[in-house]
Amino acid sequence: MARIAIVIPAYNESASIADVVADLHRVARERGLDLMPVVVNDCSKDNTGEIIEALPCVALHLPVNLGIGGAVQTGFRYAFDNGFDYAIQVDGDGQHPADEIPNLIEAAEKNNWDVTIGSRFLTGEGFQSTLMRRSGIRYFMRLNRLLTGITIHDTTSGFRVLNRRALERVMHYYPDEYPEPEVLVMYARVGLRVGEVPVKMRERQGGVSSINMRRAIYYMGKVTLGTLFTRIRF
């Protein structure tokens, strides 16, 4: 049976993190999966750290705030160093239903993909995000296709499965602030096999999004530059 680490970056997720971990254990029991939630507390200002210490999970506490990329890479490093066969990135706000995890693992194994992305746009079911975000995601889909020749419809999805081959790669480099679109270029350049499967996502179950109109403009510019530099680097 494959050993699966569920990497959950958490910054101020006290309202939802306990339910996320409980949902993962429920699916593990129902589907007979060997899952271990690995919650990375990214120097939260609320009591996220105290909550995860009392949960049935691996609790990793960063001494300084590293952002989503640093938190995710920390979890990936833990998964690789501790011999897990897969690591699955799952948001701490409850957007990613644990019931979709068996489908992601099945697709990864069936298609021999190194990276498997859960996409909310392939079938248009579930929560589809705001119009502003959908426009940005389409932009990054086109940019990624231009740079790699590969079409990924949900480039910003944080619901992803990595096998050990992919984990070995991200041990050495992972983008920092908004990594999801940028790292797709690295995956393509180093020859990792990337696939996409439909999933039904939910609205966030707690916490507040860090992306507003002002930060969206910053996000678009920063990720575009980061993606271009990643293309050059690899």
Question: In the chain, how many domains are there?
Answer: 1
Domain containing 112 equals 3-233
The count of C-alpha atoms lying within 13 angstroms of the C-alpha of 26, restricted to the half-sphere facing its C-beta, is 10
- Residues 9-38: tens digit of each pLDDT: 999 999 999 999 999 999 999 999 999 999
Bigger pLDDT: 129 vs 141: 141
Cβ burial 193-217 (10 Å sphere, 16+ → b, else e)? bbbbbbbebeebbbbeeebeeeeee
Alpha-carbon distance 57 to 38, whole Å? 6
Measure Cα distances from 163 to 15, 52, 169 in Å. 30, 25, 10
What is the model's pLDDT at position 129? 67
Taking residue 80's Cβ as centre, other Cβ atoms within 10 Å add up to 19
pLDDT at 134 over 80: no
CATH code (residue 166): 3.90.550.10
Structural contact between residues 172 and 216, judged by C-beta atoms closer than 8 angstroms: no
Using an 8 Å Cβ cutoff, are 219 and 178 in contact? Answer: yes
β-sheet with 34-41: strand ranges across:
58-61, 34-41, 3-10, 86-89, 160-163, 115-119, 194-198
Query: φ and ψ at 230, to 5 degrees?
Result: -65, -40
Query: What confidence tens digit (pLDDT) does each residue in 161-205 have?
Result: 999 999 999 999 999 878 999 999 999 999 999 999 999 998 765
Q: Indicate the pLDDT class of residue 127, thresholds 50, 70 and 90.
A: low
What's the pLDDT score for residue 202?
85
The conformation of residue 10, written as its DSSP 8-state character, comes to E
pTM: 0.91
- What is the average pLDDT across 91-120? 96
How many whole angstroms separate alpha carbon 95 and alpha carbon 61? 22
Provide the 3-class DSSP secondary structure of residue 42: coil
Q: Where do we find the tokens 């680097």?
A: 233
